[in-house]
């Protein structure tokens, strides 16, 4: 017989366990979406792994996808990048590979549960071969549909939206046609999707990706919302205005302006279910580097646009670049955060940009919370072009990363290398931020890969710290009259080697290069370091709190200072309540943990391949794991592989 004392002890024990479970459930939101949550804060309240014990981290399990075998018989490996971040639902990790295969693996053991292959034809000429992840429906907190993942959505390189049964990986046959919606219907073969869709209520919202330097009249970057159950189209929104009554219509000037394309949202769309809002990060109208066929400010390109999720109607917009000539897409996911301003909590959206500009906007109104100034910028000397006379510059937070360049910034490993770099820089134009492309060649600083790139930012809500990794890589952009290209390529080897954007439908062909050269030691940088950094900004006042080099690009045994120089990086960071910041992204194949408060490096691990992806973290069965996809980046030339690696404490 259970005595009264024993019964009381049992009840107290159960009550304590219930409180413990409630506390853990409150702290642990898992990692149900690509950015950690629907607003992309990339924050976890877990702290089992913390700044005091992180040095004990060890590999818990490793899973290999066999992805490299998919590239056999194609040139896909040259363009492929494993950029996915897994999501967690019901003790299962779901993620996609560059070929858009979807995997479900056990979160505690890494054992495969199922795999779905959409059978992408990798012989097609895709601009990028990547898939950053998948999405689960219903979204967390969806009271109407419950908390158990029923469907996994993948949007593919060849323009399909596919719904899969979360338990089996089988297509949901009553979604669209046999589980698939054809996103290319009415848009053409140029439309791809490289980012996971946004989930809000019963809607699945998708943007698109386009290689938008090849012609003027790409498809419009229409954003569409589909019913998560049936696959029926619920609404669509076009970033290039169709209606002359829209005030943005007047910002597209010229006889062909409204036939421009792109301005698409290829990055991650954020969702705020409480406010019934989705936040769309748009890109440059096509083509990226010549706007003579689309004169004017070009609203709603290069903007953060808040749409009413239930209807697709615009609530507000904020343009971060007027009349883009630099490929300054909003590449980073808009980050939904709450900051303290003048003693009050303010719902905000943080917009990180390739220019190194960070705009902090009121989430409900679109008004800037910190000062922003319209400043005069250089004019264009290209016939037919009219650069916008001003551009918006945030006063706080101050611009980060490289903002201008001169011969004083030349760098080389040897004196000869440095002199060569100096001569190269001297032959190009740079008049500060937003210097337009030119005939002789313009150094664009920051370049089109950042500043802040698609890896995005993260936010520690306890300290109100915004943290991001950045690139410091100038691009060289040259505009060539179409009829003179063959002659100039013949006369100048550097022009011949540069990347070509055909820009069909305009008078010019674009040539793009960067201030580095290929060498026997890899990329030989031609501007002084650091080339990649990690930094934190205090959102109470917009001031930078710390900044440190991120990674390295040369052999430390041969170049002892290389760890002070940083690395080109792609992939984002995450932050945890354990006072830790986790990031890979660099060319040295390492995964690292930093102290959030100080930027001090606390732990690093050499991965089996480079990791141009954003990590994630979660807890199952009382154990916290940190996971990273390590598969490398073909265009970047980093070490490729097919690994998903999980770490935990002993």
CA dist., res. 16 & res. 10, Å (int): 10
Question: Tokens 């109100």 sit at which residue?
Answer: 464
Find all residues with CB under 8 Å of 357, minimum gap 6, and list them.
320, 392, 393, 394, 399, 451
Q: How many residues does the chain have?
A: 650
Cα 361 to Cα 347: distance, rounded to the nearest angstrom: 9
Enclosing H/E stretch for 493: helix 493-497
List the one residue out of 583, 553, 581, 582 whose CA is nearest residue 565.
553
> Which residues, in sequence order, are CB contacts of 212 under 8 Å at separation 6+?
218, 261, 262, 264, 283, 284, 286, 287, 288
Which tokens in the block code for residue 87? 């999501």
Q: Can you list the positions of beta strands (E) in 399-456?
A: 442-444
Nearest Cα neighbor of 178 from 118, 97, 102, 113 is 118
Give kind and range of the element (H or E) at residue 225.
Answer: strand 223-227
Residue 650: how many other CB atoms lie within 10 Å: 7
- Cis link prior to 446 (omega < 30° from 0)? yes
Cβ–Cβ under 8 Å, residues 474 and 447: yes
Number of H helices, E strands in the chain: 5, 40
CA 463 from centre of chain: 24
Q: Is the dihedral of CA 514, 520, 526, 527 positive or negative?
A: positive
Longest dimension (CA), the chain: 99
Taking the chain, what is the end-to-end CA distance rounded to the nearest angstrom? 41
* Residue 542: both structure tokens together: 């917009």
Cite the active site residues.
327
Q: Would you tell me how many other CB atoms lie within 10 Å of the CB of residue 481? A: 14
Buried b (16+ CB within 10 A) or exposed e, 446-465: bbbbbbbbbbbbbbbeebbb
Q: Are 363 and 351 in contact (CB under 8 A)?
A: no
Give residue for tokens 């006063």.
395
Q: Report the distance separating Cα 285 and Cα 283, nearest Å.
A: 7
Tally of CA atoms within 13 A in the half-sphere of 429 that contains its CB: 17
Three-state DSSP state, 409:
helix
User: Residues near 414 by Cβ (< 8 Å), separated by ≥ 6?
Assistant: none
Name the percent of the chain in helix, strand, coil, to the closest 5. 10, 35, 55
Contact 99, 122 (CB under 8 A): yes
């Amino acid at each position: 017989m259970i005595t009264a004392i024993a019964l009381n002890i049992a009840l107290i024990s159960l009550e304590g366990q219930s409180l413990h479970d409630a506390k853990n459930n409150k702290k642990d939101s898992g990692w149900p979406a690509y950015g950690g949550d629907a607003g992309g804060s990339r924050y976890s309240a877990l702290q089992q792994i913390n700044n005091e014990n992180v040095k004990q981290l060890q590999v818990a399990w490793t899973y290999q996808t066999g992805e490299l075998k998919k590239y056999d018989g194609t040139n896909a490996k040259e363009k492929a990048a494993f950029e996915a971040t897994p999501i967690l639902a019901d003790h299962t990790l779901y993620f996609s590979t560059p070929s858009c295969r979807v995997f479900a693996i056990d979160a505690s053991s890494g054992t495969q549960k199922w795999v779905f292959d959409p059978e992408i034809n990798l012989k097609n000429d895709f601009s990028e071969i990547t898939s950053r992840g998948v999405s689960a429906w219903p979204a967390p907190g969806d009271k109407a549909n419950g908390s158990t993942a029923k469907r996994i959505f993948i949007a593919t390189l060849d323009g399909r939206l596919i719904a899969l049964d979360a338990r089996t990986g089988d297509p949901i046959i009553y979604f669209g046609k046999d589980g698939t919606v054809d996103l290319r219907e009415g848009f053409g073969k140029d439309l791809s999707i490289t980012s996971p869709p946004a989930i809000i209520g019963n809607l699945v919202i998708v943007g698109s990706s386009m290689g938008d330097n090849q012609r003027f009249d790409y498809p419009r970057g229409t954003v569409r919302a589909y019913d998560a159950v049936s696959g029926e189209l619920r609404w669509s929104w076009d970033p290039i205005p169709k209606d002359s009554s829209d005030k943005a219509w007047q910002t597209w000037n010229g006889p062909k302006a409204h036939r421009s394309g792109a301005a698409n949202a290829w990055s991650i769309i954020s969702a705020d279910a409480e406010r019934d809002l989705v936040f769309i990060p748009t890109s440059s109208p096509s083509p990226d580097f010549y706007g003579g066929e689309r004169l004017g400010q070009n609203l709603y390109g290069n903007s953060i646009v808040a749409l009413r999720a239930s209807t697709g109607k615009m609530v507000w917009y904020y343009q971060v670049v007027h009349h883009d000539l630099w490929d300054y897409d909003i590449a980073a996911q808009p980050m939904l955060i709450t900051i303290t301003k003048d003693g009050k909590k303010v719902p905000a959206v943080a917009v990180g940009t390739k220019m190194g500009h960070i705009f902090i906007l009121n989430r409900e109104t679109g008004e800037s919370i910190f000062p922003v100034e319209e400043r005069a910028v250089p004019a264009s000397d290209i016939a037919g072009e009219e650069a916008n006379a001003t551009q918006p510059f945030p006063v706080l937070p101050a611009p980060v990363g490289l903002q201008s360049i001169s011969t004083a910034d030349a760098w080389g490993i040897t004196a000869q290398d440095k002199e060569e770099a100096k001569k190269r820089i001297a032959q190009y134009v740079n008049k500060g931020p937003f210097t337009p492309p030119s005939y002789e060649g313009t150094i664009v600083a920051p370049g089109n890969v950042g500043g802040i790139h698609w890896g995005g930012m993260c936010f520690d809500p306890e300290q109100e710290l915004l943290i991001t990794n950045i690139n410091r890589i100038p691009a060289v952009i040259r505009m060539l009259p179409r009829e003179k290209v063959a002659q100039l390529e013949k006369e100048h080897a550097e022009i011949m080697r540069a990347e070509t954007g055909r820009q069909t439908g305009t008078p010019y062909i674009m040539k793009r290069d960067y201030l580095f050269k290929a060498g026997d030691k890899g990329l030989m940088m031609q501007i002084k370091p650091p080339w990649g950094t990690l930094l934190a900004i205090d959102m109470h006042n917009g001031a930078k709190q710390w900044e440190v080099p991120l990674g390295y690009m040369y052999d430390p045994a041969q170049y002892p200072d290389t760890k002070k120089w940083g690395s080109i990086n792609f992939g984002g960071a995450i932050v945890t309540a354990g006072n830790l910041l986790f990031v890979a992204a660099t060319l040295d194949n390492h995964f690292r943990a930093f102290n959030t408060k100080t930027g001090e490096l606390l732990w690093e691990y050499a991965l089996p391949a480079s990791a141009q992806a954003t990590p994630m973290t979660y807890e199952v069965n009382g154990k916290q794991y940190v996971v990273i996809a390590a598969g490398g980046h073909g265009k970047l030339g980093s070490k490729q592989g097919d690994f998903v690696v999980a770490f935990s404490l002993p």
